[in-house]
Amino acid sequence: MTDPTQALIPAGSAGSHLAERMTSPGYSACHSSYVMKTQDVASEVAKMAQGCAAVTKMHALGNPVPFTQSASNAPQSSPFKALANHCYRVYGAATSGIKDLDLLIKDSTGAIAGEDSTDDPTPVVLEDGVVCFSQNDDATVVASVGDGTGAFALQVWSD
């Protein structure tokens, strides 16, 4: 079996000196048509991410993390341990009250390692790839509601 990250194209850094973005057109197709069927955001984010597992060959680092937020609230964050020479993808799913959920990954210096590029309730960082760390780091997923209010869940996946 080939390593799916070998087919990824270096896309440079979003600002982080500890991580690099790697892209592949096939990575966006696995979730771009995903439609939530329930308001159970933890279940839905796991289903969406699982739909990409065959393409990315990644696995969940843990259970989905639930949040509640409105556009007027400050962003919320969820830490994760990024390991050297591993790549990460973050999936998000929001209830129907949230029209735009924004996600980004920051490294321990606060620099942006990757961000979602859509205005929708089911974002992925990166839409068309992964964020790969060159050294162990205490990274953070930052979530912000751009439009609306309600519940959402995040899940980090890794190779």
Judged by average pLDDT, the poorest of 75-84, 101-110, 117-126 is 117-126
The pLDDT of residue 71: 92
pLDDT digits (tens, 9 = 90+) for 54-82: 999 999 999 999 999 999 999 999 999 99
DSSP state of 52: T
Higher pLDDT pick, 26 / 158: 158
Distance, in Å, from the CA atom of 157 to the CA atom of 105, rounded to the nearest integer, reads 12
Residue 49 has pLDDT above 50, yes or no: yes
Residue 9 in this model has a pLDDT that exceeds 80: no
What does the alpha-carbon distance between residue 8 and residue 87 come to, in Å, rounded to a whole number? 11
pLDDT band at 26 (very low <50, low <70, confident <90, very high): confident
For residue 4, pLDDT over 60 is answered with: no
The strand ranges marked E within 54-136 are 59-60, 65-70, 76-82, 86-94, 98-106, 112-115, 124-125, 129-133
Task: Write down the pLDDT at residue 1.
Answer: 33
Asked whether the predicted pLDDT for residue 145 surpasses 90, the reply is yes
Q: What structural domains and CATH numbers belong to the chain?
A: 4-158 (2.60.120.380)
Cα(14)–Cα(48) distance, rounded to whole angstroms? 25
